[in-house]
Amino acid sequence: MSSRTTGRAIGALFLLAFLAYGIGTALAGSASVPVGALLMLANSAIVAGIGVLAFPVLRPHSELTAHAYLVGRAVEAALLAVGVVFLLLPEPVPAGNHYSYQVAMMAVGSVGVLFCRVLLRARLVPRAIAVWGVVGYAVFLLGAVLEVLGYGVGVALSVPGGLFEIALGVLLIAKGFAARSEVDREPAMAR
């Protein structure tokens, strides 16, 4: 699969994950807990898929980042699934879901910074998008840490990273990752 095709698939998964978890959370908070939980579990599979698909794209540029991103997305998927289990217990434990989610967001925030650093250095996406991702994921990570420490700022600090994921998803669906030959054709000054 070409990096463009892989990029398009990853873009679709970013948007699908956003929808699955968002709708799933809304349903789980209402009368449709089983349907919401199912969508939240589907999100776990989707985010793991993002890590798997990104691995061969990242690996030529940074072996360490490729492995870290794969593991980070797997950790995120597992922790989000554990959070769903807390909601499905006979006596639901919303705090368990909350903390599983926040630790999962710490994982994705950490590896997201590395992911975007590779996107920036390898010029796989426009520079502004990659920089937005580095900053967005760093702020996202900070918000998750503060949330676990008891400061209720996680939602506000997740906005830049969340909007980045939507923008990246749309960009990747439209264009995929830049081909190496496009990067080589850029003038030296632009690099």
CA distances from 168 to 16, 22, 75, 156 (A): 12, 17, 21, 20
118 assigned to some structural domain: yes
Over residues 122-144, the pLDDT tens digits come to 999 999 999 999 999 999 999 99
Q: Out of 48-52, 91-95, 170-174, which region has the weakest mean confidence (pLDDT)? A: 91-95
191 assigned to some structural domain: no
Which residues, 6+ apart, have CB-to-CB distance to 90 below 8 Å? Answer: none
Count of helix runs (H) and strand runs (E) in the chain: 7, 0
184 assigned to some structural domain: no
Question: Do 110 and 140 meet the contact criterion of CB atoms below 8 Å apart?
Answer: no
Q: What's the pLDDT score for residue 29?
A: 86
How large is the C-alpha radius of gyration of the chain? 17
Question: Do 54 and 21 meet the contact criterion of CB atoms below 8 Å apart?
Answer: no
188 assigned to some structural domain: no
165 assigned to some structural domain: yes
Range of the domain at 126: 3-176
Place of tokens 């949330």: 147
- Read off the pLDDT band of 187 (50, 70, 90): very low
- Read off the pLDDT band of 12 (50, 70, 90): very high
Over residues 63-81, the pLDDT tens digits come to 999 999 999 999 999 999 9
> Looking at the 3D structure of the chain, how many domains does it have?
1
Question: Do 121 and 61 meet the contact criterion of CB atoms below 8 Å apart?
Answer: yes
b vs e for 17-54, b when ≥16 Cβ sit within 10 Å of the residue's Cβ? bbebbebbbebbeeeebeebbbbbbbbbebbbbbbebb
Query: Helix, strand, coil % (nearest 5) of the chain?
Result: 85, 0, 15
The encoded tokens of residue 109 equal 């925030």
pLDDT at 2 over 70: yes
Instruction: Return the closest-CA partner of residue 143 out of 128, 158, 132.
Output: 158
The single-letter DSSP state of residue 179 is P
pLDDT at 180 over 80: no
